[in-house]
Amino acid sequence: MSNWNHRHILDLAAFSIADFDSVIELAHRFRSIPKTGARRLPALQGRLVATLFFEPSTRTRSSFELAAKSLSADVQSFTPATSSLSKGETPVDTALTYVAMGADVLVIRHNSSSIPQRIANALDQTNSNTRVLNGGDGLHSHPSQGLLDLYTLASHFNPQKPSSKELNGKKIVIVGDILHSRVARSNIWSLTACGADVILCGPPSLLPDTFKAFVDEPPPGQKKDPVKKRGDIKILYSLEEALPEADAVMALRLQKERMSQNLLTDLDQYHLDYGLTHHQLKLCGRHVPVLHPGPVNRGIELSGDLLDDKSICLVDKQVQNGIPIRMALLYLMTKMKSALD
Ligand code: CP
């Protein structure tokens, strides 16, 4: 296991290959541990995990809460609609309120990209020992989703001993609304770090060609890339070109709530051009798995038949893997030696 040095987890751009393997290895060990009852692990006994979801979630919030409980942490959730946000309290002050109540970890989701970083900065200025885990912020990042997708793919290619090596040289097609997707951005960092080539596919209005250079420079605030050689990024605008190359395909949700302009006018045409069906997958020429981070617009990104076909579609596995991955993240963050210890 690497020397874990991520005080907060805000994105995957700063992860080394050893970091990815630490998370995968630990999640794989946690996968078989009972989630309820007397046999669950006492690793986080006495710790408090607060889930501050300012934006809706089903999978991420529930699986972080289940992961925390599986490690015997106490969990405090927060409901924006009935909170003091309506009285003008800011998200940062809301977070600091939970810190004052003793939270060891804050899991933050917000529709603005800067909020988890701003909360982490506020904590660091006060020498607080509380950690921030980004549960999805705006268009920026969804690190735990990127990690559970990586683990799901590595486990698909090698069920007994999944690791980053399984992705080396693979070609992963990500199809859909790349422009608005924090999941795509996190997956691009993790997959290219592990040596996979990422093929982005979608309509030009949802796939700017600037994505080709997405990993060329370290992101703001990071001096250098922790990965020596990344996989390539290719942009293709048709499934007919993309699918024959694929070792796996990940479809993304059309984020209608984030589309301020008329970037897409015809959902039926979108499904015909970019929706995945059993028929379209014949273009792969062999059996390839299909992933989707959820929630799925059934019949748009994936046909209903394909979504329900568990021999191809790994959506349920992704949801299941979300719990051990989030257990691993909570464990690594809370066991990391703090500057105050
Ligand atoms: N994949 C994902 O983030 O789903 P939720 O919005 O349900 O958490």
Decide whether any atom of ligand 1 lies within 6 Å of the 135 Cβ: no
Decide whether any atom of ligand 1 lies within 6 Å of the 319 Cβ: no
DSSP secondary-structure letter at 243?
G
Q: Give the pLDDT of residue 337.
A: 58
Q: With a cut of 70, which residues of the chain have pLDDT below it?
A: 1-2, 38, 258-265, 337-341
Q: Give the pLDDT of residue 51.
A: 98
Which residue spans of the chain are classified as CATH 3.40.50.1370? 17-141+319-335, 144-315
Decide whether any atom of ligand 1 lies within 6 Å of the 145 Cβ: yes
Which single residue is written with the structure tokens 């982490």? 120
- What predicted TM-score, i.e. pTM, was given to this entire model? 0.95
Q: Give the pLDDT of residue 275.
A: 96
Which CATH fold topology does 17-141+319-335 show?
Rossmann fold (3.40.50)
Give the burial class of 277: count Cβ atoms within 10 A of its Cβ; 0-12 exposed, 13-18 middle, 19 or more buried. middle
Would you state the structure tokens that stand for residue 78, as one six-digit string? Answer: 């927060």
Q: Give the pLDDT of residue 339.
A: 42
Q: Give the pLDDT of residue 340.
A: 41
Which CATH fold topology does 144-315 show?
Rossmann fold (3.40.50)
CA of 294 relative to ligand 1 center, distance in Å: 6
Q: Give the pLDDT of residue 268.
A: 86
Across the chain, what does the average pLDDT equal? 94
Decide whether any atom of ligand 1 lies within 6 Å of the 58 Cβ: yes
Which single residue is written with the structure tokens 């273009």? 283
Query: DSSP labels for 94-156?
Result: HHHHHHHTT-SEEEEEESSTTHHHHHHHHHHHTT---EEEEEEETTTB-HHHHHHHHHHHHHH
